[in-house]
């Protein structure tokens, strides 16, 4: 249980870092800073790998604690009221950070895709702009 609780706390800190990195990525994309984008992509990739590893550990710990169909709601029931309330609040905050990171990641991906599309048009022309009548 201690490892599971620590993993949630570690993920909260990691998601704060991830959200910051995603903001930096957005800024670098707007400024067309290719080298910085590469650095940020590496940092984000490493952090996401760490988060995924901790998620897998959390599933394993929850399964050990509550059985095959484990859920965090079942884990909550194993705690006394005060630690339970704290974990539920932390879990809710973590879920909100995950949603914010997904939204920021989508925003960044959309921006980068649009920039790529524009560059392709600039470099190779737009095939449909001057079609013969």
Determine the topology of domain 2-124 in CATH: Methane Monooxygenase Hydroxylase; Chain G, domain 1 (1.20.58)
Contact 12, 93 (CB under 8 A): yes
User: For residue 87, what pLDDT is reported?
Assistant: 95
In this prediction, the residues of the chain whose per-residue pLDDT falls under 50 are none
User: For residue 116, what pLDDT is reported?
Assistant: 85
Chain segment 70-82, per-residue pLDDT in tens: 899 999 999 999 9
Cα atoms found within 13 Å of the Cα of residue 90, Cβ hemisphere only: 18
| Helix (H/G/I), strand (E/B), else coil: 70 | coil
Contact 94, 8 (CB under 8 A): yes
Rounded to two decimals, the pTM is: 0.86
User: For residue 27, what pLDDT is reported?
Assistant: 97
Q: Which H helix or E strand runs over 116?
A: helix 81-124
CA distances from 101 to 17, 38, 69, 94, 107 (A): 10, 19, 27, 10, 10
């Amino acid at each position: 249980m201690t490892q599971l609780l620590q993993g949630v706390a570690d993920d909260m800190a990691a998601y704060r870092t991830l959200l910051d990195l995603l903001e930096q990525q957005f800024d670098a994309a707007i400024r067309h800073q290719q080298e910085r984008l590469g650095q940020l992509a590496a940092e984000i990739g490493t952090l996401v790998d760490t988060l995924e590893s901790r998620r897998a550990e959390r599933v394993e710990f929850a399964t050990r604690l509550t059985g095959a169909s484990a859920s965090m709601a079942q884990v909550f029931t194993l705690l006394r009221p005060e630690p339970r309330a704290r974990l539920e609040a932390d879990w809710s905050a973590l879920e909100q950070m995950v949603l914010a990171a997904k939204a920021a990641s989508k925003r960044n991906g959309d921006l980068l895709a649009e920039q790529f599309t524009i560059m392709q048009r600039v470099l190779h022309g737009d095939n449909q702009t001057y079609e013969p009548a």
